[in-house]
Amino acid sequence: MTGLALELCGVSLAGPVLNASGTFDAIAARRAFGAALVERFPFDAFVTKTVTLAPRQGNPPPRLWETAAGMLNSIGLPNKGLDGFLAHDLPQLADLRVPLVVSVMGFDHVELAALVEGIGARPEVAMIELNVSCPNVETGTIVGADPGETAAALDHVRPLTDKPLVVKLTPNAIEPAAVAAAAQDAGADGISLINTLKGMALHPRTGEPWLGGKTGGMSGPAVRAVALEQVARVAERVELPVIGMGGICSGCDAADFLAAGATAVAVGTESFRDPASGRRISEELAALAAGGRLKPLAARDTSL
């Protein structure tokens, strides 16, 4: 209990620190750490790894590259698919003592509808996050890079569930705030950002792409300044609650995102260094709040 309890898209949370999708596997973590992991769960809500309609193996290894103050990953969304998720993962995740947010990605509107309907029908699920960092299979455009594509996706699934829908923006867009505004107009309940920045590494000897997926997503403290700017811009543009993330390693980092206009924050890469990072960051944030040392919400400035 941090004294920072809040309502996020109508869901009560004991505090504002979530995990970023795809950076914490609560089921695997329970295998490694046992019941202690559930008793001292590091986050105030749990966001699943992205679920797709069909099962996916993910990208061939190697999948990781360490950068200065960060990393590249090319994981490729391995998951059991919707049926496998509902049958195997969801019952285990329902044991967690925090609200459950399920991240989904559809490769077309039919897939997305099946995911939102199937997951939205489950009472264990508090919220759905739409991962829009996927290409439209017909146009090749990344859905989340385009306000019109994002709005069209939401138009399609908004009527299918009463659950809050959070749109996870990609930073690889010309104007993420315009995408956020389009999502708001199309009925989204919240916005989360940033996803990873596109990046690349070459094999030190051969000069070929190092990652099995050729390119990857960059994360960690190296991207924090970029994330903070994008969060500030989006929070400026929309009324919806914003979940800010990107390289958050400390309570001070989290406080910056809150001051930039985020309602909640998420921890990603820092959890790789320590599974208890989320809890530590919550405690640091609570100490800042108790000491009156949270920065005021930055003055809204349209020239930003």
Partner 1 sequence: MTGADAERQTLAPPERRVAEVKAVRRLGAYDVITARDPVGPRNPRPGQFYMLAAGDRWGGGASERPFLPRAFSYATARPHPDGGAMLEFVLEDVGPGTHRLGELEAGDALMLLGPLGLGFGPAAPGTVPLLVGGGIGVAPLLCLSEELEGAARVILGFRSAAHARGAELFDGDVTVVTDDGSVGARGLVTGPLREQLDSDSAATVYACGPPAMLEAVRALCAERDVACQLALEAGMACGYGACFGCVVATAAGLQRVCVDGPVFAGSALERVR
21 contacts: CB under 8 Å, gap ≥ 6: 47, 48, 49, 50, 101, 103, 129, 131, 168
In the complex, minimum distance from the CB of residue 219 to partner 1, in angstroms, rounded to a whole number: 10
Q: Give the residue with the Cβ less far from partner 1, 6 or 29.
A: 29
**Of 9, 134, 249, 252, catalytic:** 134
Q: Which tokens is 156 given? A: 């399609």
Adjacency order of strands within the sheet including 127-131:
17-19, 264-267, 242-245, 190-193, 165-168, 127-131, 100-104, 46-47
134 is catalytic: yes
Q: Are 29 and 37 in contact (CB under 8 A)?
A: yes
In the complex, minimum distance from the CB of residue 27 to partner 1, in angstroms, rounded to a whole number: 8
Amino acid at site 292: G
Residue 259 has what DSSP assignment? Answer: H
Contacting residues toward partner 1, per CB under 8 A: 22-25, 27-29, 31-34, 36-37, 40, 42, 49, 57-58, 61-64, 66-71, 73, 75, 78, 220-222, 269, 271-276, 279
Q: Give the residue with the Cβ less far from partner 1, 25 or 124.
A: 25
Q: Give the residue with the Cβ less far from partner 1, 263 or 277.
A: 277
Please say whether the dihedral angle defined by the alpha carbons of residues 104, 110, 116 and 122, taken in this order, is positive or negative. negative
Q: Give the residue with the Cβ less far from partner 1, 71 or 238.
A: 71
In the complex, minimum distance from the CB of residue 106 to partner 1, in angstroms, rounded to a whole number: 20
In the complex, minimum distance from the CB of residue 272 to partner 1, in angstroms, rounded to a whole number: 4
Q: Are 277 and 270 in contact (CB under 8 A)?
A: yes
Catalytic residues: 134
